[in-house]
């Protein structure tokens, strides 16, 4: 017997985070169906015993609750409202939006879902695939209280760090962009500082030991720079994602009339790294990009 007596939970987008979430739900007793456009990802899912649907609509036909874990707003819209989208299937009662997208996109998609009779949870995710697999990632949740109640069993399995941000859909997206702008600033600063440490003849690992116990410490610096120093650039979070997210945050800031010079510098650093060929590498690759003599601002 599964935990979801109303039917399977669907997850559309089974990249690093989506597949980890699917496996977490399966492990804890939920029936899970998945969908992805990448045959390699669906093969991984099938090998793990997950049911694979041929389209988002086919998935939603068997799932009252659907989690969307794709990359951006365009993919989200296609998954929900394309010719074989989730909204075309009868029976889907609610959608949880987990990508990092602009607040206005979240609000617009939520209105379209409501018109189709489908509830929406604005729930950007954070923490990386290892935490998602363990049920320890963060979810930044904004939705009506009755909708949250209908999803609480699933949310509590996925995340032991649930931040309830109120009922205004879009506030999850806003907080996520604020966080990711700061993450980008911290990561860009850490990579620059360690590139400088190496350039003046210091051992980067020992310099990071000091930073971690001093005023320059940040979680993302420790997590990413330890891997970068070890030469481990296997993608957990692609450089292209922080490039996208920091630029979305800058757009939100511009709309709000706030100048963000540090955020602009960080966003430019990720854009240059992507242009230099690091888009599909882990965002820890920013250190290697700077080591190779990235041009100044």
**Cα separations in angstroms, 208 against 186, 187, 215, 219, 242:** 14, 13, 12, 12, 22
Do 69 and 14 meet the contact criterion of CB atoms below 8 Å apart?
yes
Q: Which of 176, 224, 244, 247 is catalytic?
A: 176
φ and ψ at 77, to 5 degrees?
A: -65, -40
Q: Kindly report the number of other CB atoms within 10 A of residue 275's CB atom.
A: 11
The answer to whether the CB of 239 falls within 8 A of the CB of 280 is yes
Q: Which long-range contacts (CB under 8 A, 24 or more apart) does 215-222 make?
A: 216/190, 218/186, 218/190, 220/183, 220/186, 220/187, 220/190, 221/186, 221/187, 221/189, 221/190
Judge whether 28 and 157 are in contact, CB under 8 Å.
yes
244 is catalytic: no
Active site residues: 176
């Amino acid at each position: 017997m599964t935990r979801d007596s109303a039917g399977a939970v669907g997850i559309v987008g089974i990249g690093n985070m989506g597949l980890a979430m699917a496996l977490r739900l399966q492990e804890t007793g939920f029936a899970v169906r998945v969908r992805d456009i990448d045959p390699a990802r669906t093969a991984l899912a099938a090998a793990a015993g997950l049911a694979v649907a041929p389209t988002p609509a086919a998935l939603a036909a068997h799932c009252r609750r659907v989690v969307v874990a794709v990359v951006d707003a365009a993919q989200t819209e296609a998954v929900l409202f394309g010719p074989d989208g989730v909204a075309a299937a009868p029976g889907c009662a609610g959608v949880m939006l987990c990508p990092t997208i602009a607040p206005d996109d979240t609000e617009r998609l939520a209105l379209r879902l409501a018109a189709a009779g489908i509830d929406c949870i604005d729930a950007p995710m954070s923490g990386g695939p290892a935490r998602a697999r363990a049920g320890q990632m963060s979810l930044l949740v904004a939705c009506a209280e009755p909708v949250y109640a209908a999803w609480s069993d699933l949310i509590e399995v996925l995340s032991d760090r649930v931040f309830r941000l109120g009922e205004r859909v879009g506030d999850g997206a806003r907080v996520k962009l604020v966080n990711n702008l700061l993450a980008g600033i911290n990561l860009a600063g850490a990579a620059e500082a360690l590139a400088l440490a190496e350039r003046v003849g210091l051992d980067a690992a020992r310099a990071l030991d000091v930073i971690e116990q001093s005023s320059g410490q940040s979680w993302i610096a420790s997590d990413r720079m330890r891997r970068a120093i070890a030469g481990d650039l296997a993608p957990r979070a692609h450089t292209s994602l922080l490039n996208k997210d920091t630029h979305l945050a800058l757009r939100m800031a511009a709309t709000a009339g706030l100048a963000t010079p540090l955020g602009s510098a960080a966003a430019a650093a990720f854009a240059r790294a992507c242009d230099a060929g690091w888009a599909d590498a882990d965002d820890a690759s920013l250190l290697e990009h700077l080591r190779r003599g990235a041009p100044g601002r």
